[in-house]
Every structure is written in C-alpha cells, then in structure tokens.
Amino acid sequence: MREKSRFDLDVPPSIPGGRIRSLVWRSDDLFDPIGGERVIRLGGEQSKPPFGPYAYAFDRAIGCPGGCHVAMYTSRQTTGLILGPQRSQRQINRHYYYASGYEYPVALGRLTDGRELVAHCPEKYARIEIELIDSGQRLTNREPATFDFFHSRLEFSPDGRYLLSAGWFWHPWDAVHVYDVSAALSDPRSLDTAGTMRSRSVAAELASATFSDDDTLIISTVPESERLDDPEHDPNALGPLELASWSMSASEWKTRTQLQVPAGGLMAAGSSHVVSFH
C-alpha cells in the first residue's frame, strides 16, 4: 500500500476558529506563527492561539526542516523575525534598496550534521550571508566583493546541499543562481559569483524556480521575454515559456515542456509534481 503523504486531502476542507494568517509545517502539524502560534492537527483539532497576532505587519512565514524555527517577514519590506524554541526571538533585516520591489531574501535549512542555518542578505542586496539560526554566528565572513545581483526567493534544497537564489539583475531581468553550501562554508567568496549552475543554460527570463528533491531544480520562464541569442549560450538553452527540470549532479536538463500559458510561481508537491500559481 502506498504510504500517505501530507498532500493526500483526506482532512477537513476548512479550519474553523478564526482567521489563519500563515501556515508552516511543524512535524505533522500545521502551525500559524503570525496569527498567534496556533497549532492545527491533521485530524481537525487545534489549540487555542496562546498569543495574539503580531502588531507588525508580517505577511509571510517559512519553517526550518526540523520544525524548531520559523522565520516571519513582510515580503516587500525590510524586517523579519526568527522564532525559536521557547519563543526565543531574533530580529533580522535586509537592505532598503528597492526592497518594495521584490521578495524578501531569506531561507532556512539544515546541514547533514544537524546544524540549522538561515541564509539572508542582512547588509547588502547583492551579498548572501549564511548564519547559525540560533546564535546568529556568521559562517561566511569575507572581504567585500563587486557583485551586482539582487538576491531574492532564497531556498535550500531539501538536504541542505544547495542554496537557490531566484533574483534579478538591474534591467530588470530575473535569473537563477544556485550555490553549493559546503563550498560556500569553505570559501564564502563563491557566494559572490553566479553559482554552480551554468548560466548559459537559460536563454530566457526566469519566472520561478524551486527544488522538487535533493538533486532536481524546477524552472519556468516568462512568455514575453525574447530569447537571448548569445553565441556563448548552450544550443539547448531554455527558452521563453518553458517548464523544465534540471539535474544538479549531471548539469543537464532532465525534462522540458513548452507551455501554452505562463506557469507563474512554483511549489513542489513531492518529487514528481509541481503546483503553479499565475
């Protein structure tokens, strides 16, 4: 018998008892940190929120793989908050420059040795820092570098090996960079590059990207961009209005589909499905 997953919709279709302001997974329970830290179990029962909603206008929440920490932030502003066990709190911030124009860059992940990490851009829009989530100890100290890329939509791969940045260059032109986390911890200067994925493999503007498993990156491109006919691009580079999966280990496209309508934002649903939001 197939093991049930959290995507099997055999739970009540609605959650009674007030407005839900955010949802993240905490083990097999749903958790609403922004709306007062209510816990909703898949059987339908839920705890009464022990606290009132935050006065600050947080509108996004993400959880760490172990379920111990949650990051809350406002998508087009500069302030976030990390909530840990026993309600320990740590404020985080990002650079103000064009902050109202793109998604707050922050992601939570976990290394194979169990250490939980936060990746964000606390001082400059073009500079990713990786820190221990509890203490804030920075693991990527380095000299300033000239690298002009607006990091956004950060995401760790499920195993914590890779870090995705679906950001943009000044034009604006959305693009995707992927970094090897172990390499970045050994040589933080690697975060001031275009990353490990061949930049010439995508010849159209990025719409969205997400990891579907430890090795597979799903990418969609926008319809209205012109294909970049750069002679340095790979002959099989991804073009406009495509949905494709990229193998990080093999550095090649696994599957590609020419779309009829834009895919928009992407959310992986297991290793073989993706949900699109346009």
Q: What is the pTM of this model?
A: 0.89
Going from the N-terminus, what domains does the chain have, and what CATH number goes with each? 1-54 (no CATH), 55-277 (2.130.10.10)
Phi, psi of 204 (to 5 degrees): -140, 165
Task: Please answer whether residues 268 and 212 qualify as being in contact, where contact means their C-beta atoms are separated by less than 8 angstroms.
Answer: yes
pLDDT tens string, the chain, 278 residues long: the values are 444 455 555 555 566 656 788 999 988 899 999 988 888 888 878 777 777 778 889 999 999 988 889 999 999 999 999 999 888 899 999 999 999 999 999 999 999 889 999 999 999 999 999 999 988 999 999 998 888 999 999 999 999 999 999 999 988 899 999 999 999 999 999 999 999 987 678 889 999 999 999 999 999 999 976 655 666 667 788 999 999 999 999 999 999 999 999 998 999 998 889 999 98
What is the DSSP track for 60-103?
EEEE-TTSS-EEEE-TTSSEEEEE-GGG-EEEEE---TTGGGS-
What is the C-alpha radius of gyration for the chain, rounded to an integer number of angstroms? Answer: 19
Cα separation, 155 vs 211, whole angstroms = 8
Cα separation, 247 vs 255, whole angstroms = 9
SS (H, E, C) 107-136: EEEECCCCCEEEEECCCCCCCCEEEECCCC
